[in-house]
Amino acid sequence: MSFPRTCVLPILLSLFLGAGVQAQTEDRAATIRKALRVDTFNNVDYYDENNKEITSEQFDERVRAGLYVWMEKSKNWFGSPVLKMHLDTKPKLAFKAKYNIKPGDQFPEFSQLTLANKMLDNQQLMGKYTVVSFYFADCAPCVDEVPELNALAAGRGDMNFIGITFDPIKTTRKFVEEHKLAWTLLSDAKPLIKTAGVQSYPTLALLDPAGKVLAIESGSALKRSDKSIAALVERLAPRTPN
């Protein structure tokens, strides 16, 4: 799959608020803006349920009326990030991300420096179960996962934990400083992300000790199935006795 030259990577977040649930607050628009961190972007485009561009005021009015929201992130011709906020009459609960890898496949080959400036490749993951988290800094659900990811890594010393992002090193370092993500991280990893076919964030992959994919799920799909990352890991990756 190829991507437009104007985009670093198109990102479909089947987000709505609370993974497909309407914001049940007095001001849905304000709640959604806060949850998706829309206020951090200078360029935000708004579309109604017929994919017609509308003003932010019209968007807010329709959100308050009860329509659902999903978000797409891209870049304009000048390289500035742009968010496209779309409205729909129904939540996209049926959304299912499509990847280039599936359970039973070998995880794509890679060899790259980590944020700690150490070389990492597939061979170094062999012999242990591995959790791979695909994320990016401006992804609100990715940020929300950090405490659970850190707790999982702290409690499972018998596993590998790798975070993969297309963000540049500077952005990744800032993310670590702000959110204290304590995983091995690969930044500027667009080729690996493209090979895996990841477009929905966050996405989590679980690999067996031979490097084969046991599961790969978007964050919203995972919450609907196993309810939590820890539950998925406990189900598919039994603890290794010390």
- Using alpha carbons, select from 117, 108, 114, 138 the residue that is nearest to residue 198: 108
Inter-CA distances, 171 with 19, 122, 164, 165, Å: 25, 25, 13, 10
For residue 144 the two structure tokens come to 């929300």
Residue 230: CA atoms inside 13 Å, Cβ hemisphere, count?
12
Q: Which domains does the chain have, with CATH numbers?
A: 11-88 (no CATH), 111-236 (3.40.30.10)
Strand partners, 121: 111
Distance CA 209, CA 215 (A): 13
For each of the chain's 242 residues, which pLDDT tens digit applies?
A: 333 222 233 344 444 333 333 334 346 677 666 666 666 666 778 888 787 888 888 888 877 777 766 666 666 666 665 667 777 766 554 445 678 999 999 999 999 999 999 999 999 999 999 999 999 887 878 888 899 999 999 999 999 999 999 999 999 999 999 988 989 999 999 999 999 999 888 899 999 999 999 999 877 656 655 567 888 888 888 887 65
Whether the bond into 241 is cis, omega within 30 of 0: no
